[in-house]
Amino acid sequence: MMLDPHQVKADQALLQLGQRLHADGYRFTCVTPATHARNNARPEAQRAHSLRDVFGWSRPFAPALLSTDELRPLQAAGLLSEDGELLRSQVRFSNLDELLLVHSAYPTEASDAVFFGPDSYRFAQAIQDHLQHRHTRVQHAVDIGCGSGIGALLIARAAAHAQVTAVDINPLALRYTAVNAALAGVSNLSVEPSNLLDGITGTFDLIVANPPYMLDVGERTYRHGGGSLGADLSLRIVEQAQQRLAAHGSLLLYTGVAIVEGRDALLEAVRERLAGPQWSWSYRELDPDVFGEQLDEPGYEEVERIAAVALTLTRNG
């Protein structure tokens, strides 16, 4: 993937900032947008008082709050915006265990925003559980719609011998994934632009994906799942995985599903597509009720809840 020199310089500055924050012991756990909004609405949260306020809570800050080593990379990367007499960082940094990941600042309103949050933590746990119980060696893996790159990063760290590819249609996601890989010291991970797997050749013995699954009026890339209630991308990933899994290869799909009158339409569609002896699969709810605030949005009038689910699909021989 070719990047222009200005982007390369900006990403190097972003990496430098991440390394500085990591060295300083920075820690932040990313929350849902609703929880973020509640925290930032408190009177004492109207401006930043710490690094966590600046790079976690996305609060406006006085330039004097940051050291030169923190402010200069933000300027070099073009990631500072003005808020009256104060400034704002256009990126956040969050932790998952010892990993530090850069992603888009709150609120994630831009069409190319790179999301990280509670779904990312659940996705990571599902991957770690899968790798712990997997009996075959991972040689070639791909993270579809990589976002911040957490899926690809976890696989690359767990299987240092493997070739791991992170793909996304969002160029900013690929840039942030590359920065996060460098922050983690991972060298067996490559980033490639692709609409699902359309631009990638070969077969895989591990495919992971955490696709958007909401019905989003603005059709933001990181959030809009397509179809009537956001399940279209998830089904397309299942279909592509069926064509691209190697023998004994697996798909781990973490996604969300809108439940209407107790009915899980995604499970019904998956059950129909995976009938027959060629496939072994399991499907489970990881959390029965996520992003409840979405039920107030247009299109969700008949939805009683949104469940986080994980599908594991394996090709038999």
In a shared domain, residues 161 and 292: yes
Question: Of 69, 104, 139, which residue constitutes the final position of a domain?
Answer: 104
- Amino acid code (one letter) for 112: D
- Amino acid code (one letter) for 305: R
In a shared domain, residues 45 and 151: no
In a shared domain, residues 231 and 284: yes
In a shared domain, residues 100 and 162: no
Residue 221's pLDDT is 61
In a domain, 37, yes or no: yes
Q: What is the distance between the alpha carbons of residues 72 and 66, in angstroms, rounded to a whole number?
A: 9
Residue 111's pLDDT is 86
Residue 219's pLDDT is 67
In a domain, 110, yes or no: no
Q: What is the distance between the alpha carbons of residues 158 and 152, in angstroms, rounded to a whole number?
A: 10
Centre a 10 Å sphere on the Cβ of residue 181 and count the other Cβ atoms it contains.
24
In a shared domain, residues 35 and 122: no
In a shared domain, residues 190 and 284: yes
pTM for this one?
A: 0.94
Per-residue pLDDT of the chain (317 residues; tens, 9 = 90+): 555 788 999 999 999 999 999 999 999 999 999 999 999 999 999 999 999 999 999 999 999 999 999 999 999 999 999 999 999 999 999 999 999 999 999 999 888 999 999 999 999 999 999 999 887 899 999 999 999 999 999 999 999 999 999 999 999 999 999 999 999 999 999 999 999 999 899 999 999 999 988 877 776 666 656 777 778 899 999 999 999 999 999 999 999 999 999 999 999 999 999 998 999 999 999 999 999 999 998 999 999 999 999 999 999 97
In a shared domain, residues 123 and 100: no
Residue 225's pLDDT is 60
Could you give the number of structural domains in the chain?
2
Q: What is the distance between the alpha carbons of residues 121 and 150, in angstroms, rounded to a whole number?
A: 9
In a shared domain, residues 135 and 239: yes
In a domain, 146, yes or no: yes
Range of the domain at 311: 118-315
Q: Which residue has the tokens 């200069």?
A: 72
In a domain, 93, yes or no: yes
In a domain, 188, yes or no: yes
Three-class secondary structure of residue 305 per DSSP? strand
Question: Of 72, 104, 136, which residue constitutes the final position of a domain?
Answer: 104
In a domain, 109, yes or no: no
